[in-house]
Amino acid sequence: MSDDTTLGPVEIAVIAFPTNQFTGDIAPALADLVDSGTVSVLDLVFVSKDDDGNVVGLELNDVEDSVSAPYLEIEGEVQGLLSDEDFEDIGALLEPGSSALAVVWENSWARTFIRSVRAAGGVLVAHDRIDAATVETALEEIDEILDQG
């Protein structure tokens, strides 16, 4: 965490890998986001669900080196924010015999904006996320309407 007390919005992303074909291929992209100041990693875990439906959540230090090594290079404060209950919730999203990477990050890019809002006396009264697929569909519909007009 930075020296100031402003915290940007915090999110969790769960990326599933069917048939446990998990590699470190996405680690460089995550590292780029961290290095650029876009996000700050607060927690990063691996969750797997065996063929019998048993769910196991593992912190980076508990994962075999061939899988965890690319992620250990990422700057961050892995703090154990995710609990066994969170692992079970994530496991419920997975098919048997698959795994997932769960990453909790702060949108650190928003810190300056949040400080400015507070300094101006503003108070956040609503915040929501819209998934990309919904926005893409809406933009396509707008394009169709404009093309017809």
pLDDT at 2 over 70: no
Q: Is 78 or 26 the better-scoring residue by pLDDT?
A: 26
**Can you give the residue ranges of every domain in the chain?**
10-110
22-32 average pLDDT score:
88
- The helix (H) or strand (E) run that includes residue 17 is strand 10-17
Per-residue pLDDT tens for 35-77? 999 999 999 999 999 999 999 998 877 777 666 778 888 888 7
The tokens for 44 are 């990063």
The pLDDT score that the predictor gives to residue 28 is: 92
Which pLDDT tens digit goes with each residue over 78-119? 778 999 999 999 999 999 999 999 999 999 999 999 999 999
Q: What is the pLDDT of residue 22?
A: 77
Q: What value does the mean pLDDT take over residues 20-44? A: 90
Tokens of 118: 């507070």
Which two tokens mark 132? 């990309």
Which two three-digit tokens encode residue 88?
């079970």
Name the residue among 46, 54, 49, 129 with its Cα closest to residue 82: 46
Report pLDDT for 116: 94
pTM of the model: 0.81
Q: Are 110 and 8 in contact (CB under 8 A)?
A: yes
- Whether 34 has a pLDDT exceeding 90, the answer reads yes
- Mean pLDDT of all residues in 121-138: 92
